[in-house]
Amino acid sequence: MKFNDLALEAPILKALEKQGYTQPTPIQEKAIPILLKGHDLLGVAQTGTGKTAAFGIPILNHLCQDKTTGKGQPKVKALVVTPTRELAIQIAENFTAYSEFTNLKSTVIFGGVKQAQQVKHLRSGVNILIATPGRLLDLMSQGFITFKDLKYVVLDEADQMLDMGFIHDVKKIIAQLPQKRQSLFFSATMPKTIVELSKKMLGKFERVTIKPEQATAEKVEQGIYFVIKGNKTKLLVHLLEQRKEESVLVFSRTKHGANKIVKKLEQSGIKSAAIHGNKSQNMRQKALGDFKMGKLNILVATDIAARGIDIDELSLVINFDLPNVAETYVHRIGRTGRANASGIALSFCMAEERPYLKEIEKLIKQKVPRLLDHPFMEDHDVIEGASVKKPAKKQNSKKRNYARNNRSRKRG
Ligand code: AMP
């Protein structure tokens, strides 16, 4: 299938051509025809699949065909709610690109920065509003936004909204939207709370599922290094030194861990920056901007901060820590190999993380290739499962002493 087969308006086709899109990705191929017909949609898909265009193109197409759109001050007719600032900015950039040859106006609002500039844009009139929940509610309550004319709403990354504690804000926002509207609901996973929310938000809907393994595991070359905790940084430095020119995204499970990695890399003469929730919005944007422009090669991120980061040339993702939720692994490796490109994802796994690896392999239905040939390999790293610490089963002191002596014998 080609975009030309989708009966889209000429300015949108022109913009897609300019972006270099010729063929719809699987989610676009499934979702766009449903959305063009005006149906509600439940999309089970993650970022990196071409999800933004899957909802952006039909919305823009509807707005192009809407005869009232060009008359008078633009009114907010489409709303996209998304959990993180980075994602909001990225979606807004996509809408701007896809609507380049139309008269449609969009803007983005998010917290962590002063509101004046955002209010100014809203006052000048926009057709499409992309927002994070907190700032949106805030500006709604101050009377800067009205949804009287709203026709399309997208709730993006719903499961992430739940994780970040935004679900009540989201419910409050939805309650204030007109009943008659087209609703789109996207989530990478569907826990019970999210299923309930989707039922509240959607009318009669159609469902499109793009399985994570379809989206990522096939395209991304993966590998796992077994390594003890104390050797992880050395291995990271070693890998980064081998790939000096590449853009590398390093994942850390915690904010503190991300800062520590940056510090350790600096001690080895490697420049990097961390992005996570404790950094100011400006610092995060600067780091991300430098990374996107190629001024900075290494970005260290936590999952929430990195969700949805879209960088064209990102060839390598390194999981410094394995995530304890298997789906997160799929999200992470999806940062490379976006749309139809291929990429590499390397993960570090210490003994305590082996159970996580098992869960990941169950989810992606494949074994991640073991990369056993690295300079920081300890003997016991090779034996899979053997060195996994079982959760605290009480040992009597005799056994404990035996185990301790045995360990020190081995080390000696
Ligand atoms: P998303 O999942 O929306 O974040 O999209 C992931 C990446 O795929 C972005 O860089 C998009 O610009 C790109 N993309 C989306 N749709 C297509 C397409 N049909 N052809 C090529 N690239 C695409």
Report the nearest-CA residue for atom 11 of ligand 1: 50
- Give residue 97 CA to ligand 1 midpoint distance, Å: 12
- At 276, list the tokens: 């996570």
Q: Which residues contact 365 (CB under 8 A, 6 or more apart)?
A: 213, 217
Do residues 98 and 57 touch, judged by C-beta distance below 8 A? yes
pLDDT at 244: 82
Distance CA 322, CA 301 (A): 13
pLDDT at 410: 42
CA 111, 337, 154, 160 torsion-angle sign: negative
- Give residue 58 CA to ligand 1 midpoint distance, Å: 15
pLDDT tens sequence across 387-402: 444 334 444 444 444 4
Residues with CB under 6 A from ligand 1: 21, 23-25, 28, 47-53, 310, 338-340
Q: Which residues contact 173 (CB under 8 A, 6 or more apart)?
A: 81, 133, 136, 137, 140
Give the chain's residues under pLDDT 50. Answer: 385-412
- Give residue 41 CA to ligand 1 midpoint distance, Å: 19
Q: What are phi and psi of 187, to 5 degrees?
A: -150, 145
pLDDT at 388: 41
Q: Which residue among 21, 157, 336 is best mutated to probe the pocket of ligand 1, counting the most ligand atoms within 8 A of its Cβ?
A: 21
- Give residue 339 CA to ligand 1 midpoint distance, Å: 5
- Give residue 49 CA to ligand 1 midpoint distance, Å: 7
Distance CA 313, CA 292 (A): 8
Cα angle: 362, vertex 366, 367; to 5 degrees: 95
pLDDT tens sequence across 260-291: 999 999 999 999 999 887 777 788 888 888 98
> Can you state the percent helix, strand and coil of the chain, rounding each to 5?
45, 15, 40
Mind giving me the DSSP string for 173-205?
A: HHHTS-SSSEEEEEESS--HHHHHHHHHH-SSE
Distance CA 40, CA 134 (A): 25
pLDDT tens sequence across 64-118: 999 887 778 899 999 999 999 889 999 999 999 999 999 999 999 999 999 999 9
CATH superfamily of 3-209: P-loop containing nucleotide triphosphate hydrolases (3.40.50.300)
Which CATH code, of 3.40.50.300, 2.60.260.20, 3.30.365.10, 2.60.40.10, is assigned to 220-387?
3.40.50.300
Helix (H) or strand (E) holding 255: helix 255-267
Distance CA 55, CA 248 (A): 29
pLDDT at 382: 62
Which part of the chain has CATH 3.40.50.300? 3-209, 220-387
Q: Is 342 left (phi over 0), alpha (psi -120 to 50) or beta?
A: beta
pLDDT at 139: 98
Report the nearest-CA residue for atom 16 of ligand 1: 50
Helix (H) or strand (E) holding 395: none
pLDDT at 127: 97
Report the nearest-CA residue for atom 1 of ligand 1: 50
Q: Which residue among 2, 25, 82 is best mutated to probe the pocket of ligand 1, counting the most ligand atoms within 8 A of its Cβ?
A: 25
- Give residue 81 CA to ligand 1 midpoint distance, Å: 19
Ligand 1: atom nearest CA of 310 is 10
pLDDT at 380: 65
Q: What are phi and psi of 185, to 5 degrees?
A: -130, 120
Q: pTM here?
A: 0.67
Mind giving me the DSSP string for 42-96?
A: EEE--TTSSHHHHHHHHHHHHHHH-TTTTSSS----EEEE-S-HHHHHHHHHHHH
Long-range pairs for 261-268 at CB < 8 Å and ≥24 separation? 261/233, 261/236, 261/300, 261/320, 262/300, 264/233, 264/236, 264/237, 265/233, 265/236, 265/237, 265/240, 265/298, 265/300, 268/237
